[in-house]
Chain A
Amino acid sequence: MTATVKKEAAAEPAVKRRRHTWWQLLGKDRFAAVAAVVLGLVVLTAVLGPWLIGDRAVRQDLRASLQPPSFDHGFFGLLGTDVLGRSVLARLVEAAGTTLSVAVPAVLCSLVIGSAIGMWAGYHGGWRESLAMRVADVILSFPSLLLAVVVLYVFAPSAANIVLILAFARIPIYLRTARAESAELRTRLFVDAARTFGTKSWPTIYRHLLPIVLPTLLTVATLDFCFVMLSESSLSFLGIGIQPPDVSWGLMVAQGRQYLQTAWWIAVLPGVAIVLTTVSATILAAWARLAGDPAQRWRLTAAKRRRGAVAGVTA
């Protein structure tokens, strides 16, 4: 018992020298590091924000209507006010929570369902594979917004319905990725070995396929987070997404649109928030693709040594 512990302790520094930790790899790519910080801040704002701002996102003050961004009106007047005198900053914070509470569950749902079906189909092959792929084709060949439009017509546009639609529309993305990778792993020796020892299909998938497929799936999920967020904003902008008095970034752009000539900040700032978040997610996904691929990882470490190049961008 003690011998094994000692052995592990001795082995640890060797492992560290051979491969970089995630933190170190992130530090190698300045763009990706900034992107990670931005995303972290957005999440932090979404979680802590509502507690910090109180009711300022809905508190009206008609005397302070359409104030431009300035330092004269305290912290919450920093980014100006909308037509009802509500603080744009407070609304941005509130909207961050709404936007994430739609995008994150939608991505997680499609990730879990899509990957499970994909790995199951890829592992078994045959009719299960054909069936899963055909279903994925059917879903993918239909524009997601059109699906949302029809479903939200019949059912009321609510956050839960939007999550369901977006999750459903994005399942094929994970399904295809997971299937392709599992189909290739299926014939590998360690999977054969597990099968020979009588391991059932789901434990095999969980223990032997998932750890290998997961990094790719997470990369796809990071990139897809962008897509889901943009879809939610588009729906909200068009008036069939998040409904007032709730507020999301897309909805804020829509509300600010009619004051474009007099109060540009109402429509411009939420858009900046969306762009910052989605671009960060894209950059982070590009970095994750490099860092998660053992054959590509040298690009992160080598580029830094050569000229401090931004490896993430050239992914």
Chain B
Amino acid sequence: MITFLRRRIVSSAIPLVFVVLGVFVLARLTGDPVNLYLPLSATEEQRAEFAAAHGFDQSILAQLWDYLGQVVRLDFGESLRTGQPAGEMVLTAFPATLQLAAVTMLIAIVGAVLIGSLAAYRPNSLADRVASFLSMTAASIPDFWFAIMGVLVFGVSLDLLPTSGVDGGAEVWVLPIATLLIRPFGVLVQVVRGAMVGALSAPYVKVARSKGASEKRVVFGHALRNATMPALTVAGDLTIGLVNGAVVVETIFGWPGIGKLMIDSILQRDFAVLQAAVLLTAVTIFVLNIVIDICYALIDARVRQPVAA
């Protein structure tokens, strides 16, 4: 178990290292990073002063060393827009996104397991075909358009739900979560269904039935446990993809999370904040990958065994 985890942590850390280095390289790829940080109207003296102050006149290795030191200390400089420390801004915005993502994935997983199992229980039945068609559609709807339709119908025409913001009770959550939910939900229903169809026709299900186990126990006790692995793999990928959705949803609904912060920083060319936000997202994904690996190991004993090379 420990060996397994250590190996997974090392391999999950590789992308993280790439992101940290990638941000550094990208910031310098455009030639002069001074142009990236300073507004176009800056004078020559200001540019030279800025370059000296931030060490851009030193060698590239010295710059890399400084940069790594800053990353470790969470010191990303100040935002050009607000003058606040970038790291602080990102950490303030982070919980809002985390809440949104956690609630969405919870609903998606529970819902997809129920509906996917129901569809797989009688393949080719009416319920199966309806579930399959709807999940396929849900996975191909552009989320930003779905959000706008939600605003149009429930916010403008029916005036039932608020169209943006986080102030208020449960109703402010409905549209953002529904928007974030459709794609992962549609994909997961299909995956759970496929895995369950396979599992329900396996010999051990026949054995369980002939022992006299109840149908509920057969479906959720025996079949589902074995169908969890493929679903978990996809759920992990979808959670990473949730970052994509979060950017869109937070922009549309004015949700003060890290996705909105990222887009705002891009549109206003605030590199310090963008850099901090990208790195924090990468760290979150790193942690997430390890959590998923631990889940694997808990569910499936085979994963815990060190693989003989």
Which positions in A face B, CB cutoff 8 Å? 134, 137-138, 140-146, 149-155, 226, 230-231, 233-234, 237-240, 250, 253-254, 257, 260-261, 264, 267-268, 270-271, 274-275, 278-279, 281-283, 286, 303, 309-310, 313-315
Contacts and interface: CB of A to CB of B under 8 A. Distances in A.
Nearest to B141: A275
Interface stretch (B7-15, B49-57, B67-75, B168-176): B7-15
A53 B273 CA distance: 44
Contacts of B136: 279, 282-283, 286, 313
A250 B142 contact: yes
A257 B271 contact: no
Interface string B2-20: 0000000001101100110
Contacts, number: 146
Interface stretch (B86-94, B148-156, B214-222, B298-306): B148-156
B26 A150 contact: yes
B23 interface: yes
Nearest to B285: A141
Interface stretch (B40-48, B109-117, B203-211, B235-243): B235-243
A261 to B, nearest CB: 5
Contact of B241 (A143, A153, A240, A260): A143
Contacts of A146: 243-244, 262, 278, 281
A260 B12 contact: no
Contact of A137 (B11, B145, B267): B11
A137 B7 CA distance: 14
A271 B274 contact: no
Given A154-B26, A233-B142, A234-B142, A271 B148 contact: yes
B224 interface: no
B15 A271 contact: no
Interface residues of B, number: 53
Q: When A and B form their complex, which 7 residue pairs have the shortest distance between CB atoms, in order from nearest? A: A271-B145, A278-B140, A145-B244, A143-B243, A141-B15, A138-B15, A237-B144
Interface string B253-290: 00000000011001101010010001001100100010
A257 B139 contact: no
Contacts of A149: 247, 262-263, 266, 274, 278
B248 interface: yes
20 contacts: A138-B14, A141-B12, A141-B240, A142-B18, A142-B285, A143-B240, A143-B241, A145-B247, A149-B274, A150-B278, A153-B26, A155-B30, A238-B247, A260-B151, A274-B145, A275-B137, A278-B141, A282-B137, A309-B124, A313-B132
B31 to A, nearest CB: 10
A240 B274 CA distance: 14
Contacts of B144: 233-234, 237-238, 250, 253-254
A137 B278 CA distance: 18
Contacts of B36: 154
A314 B135 CA distance: 11
Nearest to A145: B244
Nearest to B156: A261
B307 interface: no
Given A260-B156, A264-B152, A313-B133, A234 B237 contact: no
B129 interface: yes
A223 B280 CA distance: 31
A142 B19 contact: yes
Nearest to B281: A146
A315 B29 CA distance: 46
A270 B11 CA distance: 42
A297 B141 CA distance: 28
Interface in B115-166: 123-124, 128-129, 132-133, 136-137, 139-145, 148-149, 151-152, 156
A313 B132 CA distance: 6
Given A142-B15, A143-B244, 10 more contacts: A142-B18, A142-B282, A143-B241, A230-B140, A238-B144, A240-B266, A253-B145, A260-B148, A271-B148, A309-B129
B180 to A, nearest CB: 13
